[in-house]
Amino acid sequence: MPVYCYKSENGEVQERVYPVGKAPRFISVDGVRAYRSFFHERKGIPSAKGWPIECVASGVNAEDSGKLRDYLSRKGVKTEVTPDGNPIYRDSNHRRRALKARGLVDKSAYT
């Protein structure tokens, strides 16, 4: 079941699990109303390791690290590249855009 986020009037964010389509518009948390927060629900799913990540699989040879950095920058996806040639992705959205700019697809990804 999906997790739904609710932000109370005092700014606290609560997570609740409901069946799809059954989440209420607001809940009561210790007598304070908390309304559903779509902003907090769209934060994304962190990887098990955590972001940022260094991706060896989409890396290049060490001598081409500068070329990769420049290429991604020209494509509008500024990406840090290690001296070994491995790109550093800040989050899943950044990773997806960088792979797409290079014409790569991760068929095992959840996004």
43 pLDDT above the threshold of 80: no
What 3-state DSSP class applies to 97?
helix
pLDDT at 45: 55
Strands (E), 59-101: 80-81, 87-89
25 pLDDT above the threshold of 70: yes
Of residues 109 and 34, more confidently modeled = 34
In b/e form, how buried is each residue of 4-24, taking b as 16+ CB within 10 angstroms?
Answer: bbbbbeeeeeeebeeeeeebe
Q: What is the pTM of this model?
A: 0.55
What amino acid is encoded at 91 in this protein? D
- pLDDT above 70: percentage of residues in the chain: 90
